[in-house]
Chains A and B, each alone.
Chain A
Amino acid sequence: GIQVEQSPPDLILQEGANSTLRCNFSDSVNNLQWFHQNPWGQLINLFYIPSGTKQNGRLSATTVATERYSLLYISSSQTTDSGVYFCAVDRSGGGADGLTFGKGTHLIIQP
C-alpha cells in the first residue's frame, strides 16, 4: 500500500512565525487531504489538494503530484493553530477507497 511520511514530527514556534510542513507519498494518488486535529480531537478539513496550489487565509498548500510531495504553509501562526497536522492520501489511487494517514506533525505555537 501507499506510504505517507510527514516531517518534521514536532515543531515548536513562537506566535507570529511561519512554518512549512511536508508530506511525501510513495505512489500516485487521486486524493490528498490535509487535516488539523485540534486539542479536542476533532479532525478538521484544511485542504483537498491532489495537485496544484490552494490558499485559505493564512494557510496555503501545494502538491507536486509528479514528485509525490505536498507542502502545507502556515503564516503568522496563532496559538489556535496548535495541534497535529495530518496528511492523508487515498489508498489505491483510484478514488474514494479510504485514506492512508501519515503520522502527523505536532505543532505547538507559544504566545
Chain B
Amino acid sequence: DAGVIQSPRHEVTEMGQEVTLRCKPISGHNSLFWYRQTMMRGLELLIYFNNNVPIDDSGMPEDRFSAKMPNASFSTLKIQPSEPRDSAVYFCASSARIEAFFGQGTRLTVV
C-alpha cells in the first residue's frame, strides 16, 4: 500500500494567491482528515469527512479555507486568498475504522 499521498510536498506562494493542496487517502479508508501544524498551535484538526461527506469543519480557521472530497480517492484543501499567517505544514490522514495514518504533509509558505 502506498499510504496517504499528498501533493505538492512544498508550496511557496505570494499573499493573495489561491493555494490548492491535494490528498489521496489509503484505498478502502472511509474517513479523511485535514490537519495543520504550526509552532504556535501544534497539530490541530481542520475538517474531516466520512464516506466523502464533510462531518465537522469547526476547525477551519476562516471562510478563506474550503475543503472538498468529490470521491473516495481524492480530497482538496483550498485557501483563497492566502495570507502569510497560513504558512504551516498541512497533513492529510485517513482511517478505515479508528486508527489514523498520515501523509507526508505539504509545507506551505506564503510570502
Interface size class of A (residues with CB under 8 A): 20 to 34
Interface size class of B (residues with CB under 8 A): 20 to 34
Interface residues of chain B: helix, strand, loop or mixed (majority): strand
Please tell me if A77 contacts chain B, counting CB pairs below 8 Å: no
User: B31–A101 contact, CB under 8 A?
Assistant: no
Please tell me if A65 contacts chain B, counting CB pairs below 8 Å: no
Interface residues of chain A: helix, strand, loop or mixed (majority): loop
| Option from B43, B44, B45, B55 in Cβ contact (under 8 Å) with A86 | B43
| Option from A30, A41, A97, A102 in Cβ contact (under 8 Å) with B89 | A41
Which residues of chain B from 47 to 104 have any CB-CB distance to chain A below 8 Å in the complex? 48, 50, 55-56, 59, 89, 91, 93, 95, 97-102, 104
The number of A-B residue pairs with CB atoms under 8 Å apart is 57
Complex Cα–Cα for A90 and B100 (A): 10
Chain A interface residues toward B at CB < 8 A: 30-31, 33, 35, 41-43, 45, 48, 50, 86, 88, 90-91, 95-104
- A selection of 24 A-B contacts at a CB cut-off of 8 Å is A33-B99, A41-B105, A41-B107, A43-B91, A43-B102, A45-B99, A45-B101, A48-B98, A50-B98, A86-B43, A88-B43, A90-B98, A95-B98, A96-B31, A96-B97, A97-B48, A98-B33, A98-B56, A100-B45, A101-B42, A101-B43, A101-B44, A102-B42, A103-B42
